Structure 1
Amino acid sequence: MRRPLAATAAVGALAVVLSACGGGARPAANESSIGLAPPSSDATTSVAPVPPSSPATQPSATDQATAGPASNRCTAAVLAGEVRPADAAAGNRYAKLVVTNNGTTPCTLNGYSGLQLLDAAGQPVPTDLEREADPGPSRVVLPPKAQAAANLHWTVVATGDEPVERPCEPEAARAAAIPPDETQPMTLDWHFGPVCAGGRIVISAFYAA
């Protein structure tokens, strides 16, 4: 299922509609898991796990059990995000959505990011975001300069009625990602070509990186 997204100027306006909540997640096939729909902290679907890549060499994030006092939620205002390539095999592509806390105080992530592919003009590119349950949501506290990651998995093989003699879907140049339980997106570069199967991307919850 796809959800059209307006041009970049409209992303902020949509944030009012896309207010996130921490519970009551719906199945991956419905709109709560598509594109920039509200990311929540509960997984409701399970697909083939995407193995995480080796931990980054940045300072480690810690979970709430060792982090001390509760922290504020991580927002797009304090996070810097990027998509890092991982393994590729037999038409499958793997990557990690990595976020860094650029703020001066710890912040907390718990759950899934929203994600919408965009072309060079900021127009939406077909995106069908599906949550996986491994790893599922857990509270991750990011000290300043620490990182968290979410696994991404998609196919580059044309599916259904997608063309095989040209790109299966329009190619994205950027992506908009909303941290869990937030409404304002980060803008990320996308250098991975078209995403086939209608823009289907499987995403895990954030974990300490």
Structure 2
Amino acid sequence: MSVVQNVVGATGSTADTSPFRGNMVSQALRRVDDNVLIREAQRGNRAAFEELVRQYDHAVLRLALRLTASEQDAQDIYQEAFLKAYRNLVSFRFECSFYTWIYRIVTNLCLDHLRKKNVRKEDAPVTTMQDGTELSLLDQVADDRAHSNPERDLMRRELGHKIGIALNRLTARERMVFELKHYQGLKLRTIGEMLNTTEETAKNTLFRATQKLRGALAEMRE
């Protein structure tokens, strides 16, 4: 069942987790195609909106899952994001890409979720173990690689509770900027657009988040 069908009344479907097809074309071409689909959808063409969903559903679900660390919450935000996009598409003015627009919707929904649920995630900046081993920001988060290092996995688990405490020092916005930069690989300028702020503000927020995490973990090692 499609998201468009969900929007107009059906419930219970989940996102298509097939590879994001937009990766096969350039951003410029994708934006042109998106604009054509958006104009058609604004005229009431459900098939056009459904195609937009198909192009971005995996990316949206993946972002929501990364930011909430909950499959159920991610599914809820996924549905709500496309519902909101469907309802507000008529007001889309082509001042940014659909990619930026839908990501902005998702990040704002996740920000609200994080503020309400006070979610804790297990990620952190570079830290040094007792044996001198350095773990990077991304090393400390479980990944999808088929063959992970058992010893490093053990270190991740040992750090888990400390990282949770350290993240208590981050605001929801700081966690959001940190996630978008380090896990989604987005540029600070794009992050600023998504959060309705400037690139410089996003940069400062990322710096504060990293410093807080470094400081908190350093204190725990003392």
TM-score normalised to the size of structure 1?
Answer: 0.23
Per residue, is there more helix in 1 or in 2? Answer: 2
- Structure of larger gyration radius: 2
TM-score of the aligned structures, taking structure 2 as reference length: 0.22
Structure ranking higher on relative contact order (CA contacts 8 Å, 6+ apart): 1
